[in-house]
């Protein structure tokens, strides 16, 4: 007998193909042998474990300063954390943020990281069209589709999602464009690592304003800034906040402390104009868990006030150094086969496009690295295969209905976050062997 599931429930029964692939790899992952370039995990060394432990101790021992930190919290977020975020943005002038602009914004803390805010949006908005870049943040796009949204992707450029291309896409949709719900733009794109330039950012905000006027309802743009504090290339253009540069456009910024502090804290937040959207978001937090864990919010507030400036500088320096080593190794080892390399200027992804080599999960290249070619010479003994390397195949990163579908079969995302640089260089040696194998086993 079946359950009477919603279409979301039905769509969620089977794990998505990428989750299946990662789960299969995780079940028999061998530490210090297999190399995981697939996960978006941060590098363990970036997490200030001792400092976090000290702050927890302080919070627990000073109930007069940190009231009821082990109790339930309010659904908008801990007042101390909200204030700490406001102060941090203004003091660090993040995106050009000023006291005046910040005082016009609402700040809401999600119940469990930026992910929970993205999830809330999928619940709050009437399912319709969401416009995003291709390649896309596959985790959220997959979620949106299970929630009944139609994700329409527009190929991005090195400078990010070009508002002129988005405009053309919207015009080409004809009457269908009436179903536009919102724009979702990852400012340091996951998977490509491309950084959205300020001109495009302003253009996208203007476009959201224009289409809102045209449709007679607000179609905002949500800028997902998960990696924006981690722009580490000194040559990169410093990002500007759309809240500062386009204050009359319907824009919201989604941030997280996951990548700069610790994913386990699950602290994500949204900045934007006060009003019904923020109210609905607060209600949603209440519905799913009352609040983010209050203890974590108090820790985050202390970290922001005292240590975040140095913490972010340290994390950025670490990823910069790795990005350079890995970037050079990519060029040295894979050059003959590569058509394009993106990323490496922010966060911790490179996105590779090969000229002719297929990267999908049934390709010889993938199977060589997963040690599933079926040929012992390449796989090693069946009980104890040679070191394996996992990456995210481009087939999962591009929209299956978009124009990059074929290109995605020759692409991959490589994360230099989790593994140490020497392991990644070793993985690139294996990738070079895999490319040779793929050429002789088409
Ligand atoms: C683009 C993007 N948005 C959001 C998230 C999730 O952030 P959080 O850990 O705050 O839920 C990630 C995590 O990898 C991400 O890549």
Q: What residues does ligand 1 touch, defined as CB less than 6 Å away? A: 40, 113-115, 137, 186, 190, 224, 226, 256, 258, 263, 268
Alpha carbon of 421 to ligand 1 centroid (Å): 23
For position 157, what pLDDT does the model report? 98
Residue positions counted in the chain: 442
For position 51, what pLDDT does the model report? 97
- Ligand 1: residue of 190, 257, 418 to mutate (most ligand atoms within 8 A of CB) is 190
Output the CA torsion 266→23→119→242 (10° steps): 70
Mean pLDDT by 10 residues, the chain (442 residues): 94 87 81 91 95 96 89 95 98 98 98 98 98 97 97 98 98 97 98 98 98 98 98 97 98 98 97 98 96 97 98 98 98 98 98 98 96 95 93 96 97 97 98 97 79
User: How does pLDDT run across 315-344, given as a tens digit for each residue?
Assistant: 999 999 999 999 999 999 999 999 999 999
CA nearest 193: which of 334, 337, 310, 345? 345
For position 23, what pLDDT does the model report? 82
Alpha carbon of 399 to ligand 1 centroid (Å): 19
Alpha carbon of 115 to ligand 1 centroid (Å): 6
For position 168, what pLDDT does the model report? 98
Measure the CA–CA gap between 58 and 301, rounded to whole angstroms.
13
User: How does pLDDT run across 191-237, given as a tens digit for each residue?
Assistant: 999 999 999 999 999 999 999 999 999 999 999 999 999 999 999 99
Measure the CA–CA gap between 413 and 406, rounded to whole angstroms.
16
CB of 404 closer than 8 Å to CB of 134: yes
CB of 386 closer than 8 Å to CB of 4: no
The domains located in the chain, with CATH, are: 17-46+312-440 (3.90.1150.10), 49-306 (3.40.640.10)
- Residue whose CA is closest, atom 15 of ligand 1? 226
Measure the CA–CA gap between 300 and 143, rounded to whole angstroms.
28
Measure the CA–CA gap between 220 and 113, rounded to whole angstroms.
21
Nearest-10 crossing angle of helices 308-334, 421-440: 30
CB of 282 closer than 8 Å to CB of 76: yes
């Amino acid at each position: 007998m079946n359950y009477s599931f919603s279409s979301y429930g039905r769509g969620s029964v089977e794990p998505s193909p990428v989750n299946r692939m990662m789960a299969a790899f995780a079940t028999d992952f061998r530490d210090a042998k297999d190399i995981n370039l697939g996960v978006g995990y941060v590098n363990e060394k970036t997490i200030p474990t001792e400092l976090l432990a000290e702050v927890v101790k302080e919070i627990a021992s000073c109930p007069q300063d940190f009231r009821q930190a082990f109790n339930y919290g309010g659904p908008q977020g801990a007042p101390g954390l909200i204030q700490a975020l406001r102060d941090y943005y203004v003091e660090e002038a993040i995106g050009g943020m000023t006291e005046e602009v910040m005082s016009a914004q609402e700040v809401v803390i999600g119940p469990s990281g930026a992910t929970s805010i993205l999830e809330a949006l999928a619940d709050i908005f009437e399912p319709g069209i969401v416009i995003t870049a291709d390649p896309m943040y596959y985790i959220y796009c997959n979620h949106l589709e299970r929630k009944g949204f139609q994700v329409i992707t527009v190929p991005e450029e090195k400078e990010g999602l070009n508002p002129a291309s988005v405009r053309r896409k919207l015009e080409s949709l004809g009457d269908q464009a009436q179903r536009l719900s919102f724009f979702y733009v990852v400012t340091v794109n996951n998977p490509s690592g491309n950084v959205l330039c300020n001109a495009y950012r302003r253009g996208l905000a203007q476009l959201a304003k224009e289409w809102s006027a045209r449709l007679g309802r607000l179609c905002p743009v949500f800028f997902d800034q998960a990696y924006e504090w981690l722009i580490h290339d000194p040559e990169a253009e410093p990002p500007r906040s759309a809240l500062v540069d386009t204050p009359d456009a319907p824009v919201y910024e989604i941030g997280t402390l996951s990548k700069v502090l610790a994913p386990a804290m699950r602290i994500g937040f949204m900045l934007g104009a006060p009003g019904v959207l923020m109210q609905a978001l607060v209600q949603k937090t209440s519905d799913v868990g009352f609040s983010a864990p209050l203890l974590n919010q108090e820790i985050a507030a202390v970290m922001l006030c005292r240590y975040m400036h140095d913490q972010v500088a340290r994390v950025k320096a670490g990823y910069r150094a790795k990005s350079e080593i890995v970037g050079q190794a990519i060029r040295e080892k894979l050059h003959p086969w590569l058509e394009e390399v993106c990323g490496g200027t922010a966060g911790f992804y490179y996105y590779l496009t090969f000229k002719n080599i297929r990267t999908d999960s049934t390709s010889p290249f993938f199977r060589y690295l997963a040690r599933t070619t079926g040929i012992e010479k390449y796989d090693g003994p069946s009980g104890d295969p040679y070191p394996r390397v996992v990456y995210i195949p481009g087939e999962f990163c591009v929209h299956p209905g978009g124009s990059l579908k074929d290109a995605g079969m020759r692409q991959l995302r490589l994360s230099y976050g989790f593994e140490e640089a020497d392991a990644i260089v070793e993985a690139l040696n294996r990738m070079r062997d895999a490319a040779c194998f793929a050429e002789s086993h088409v």
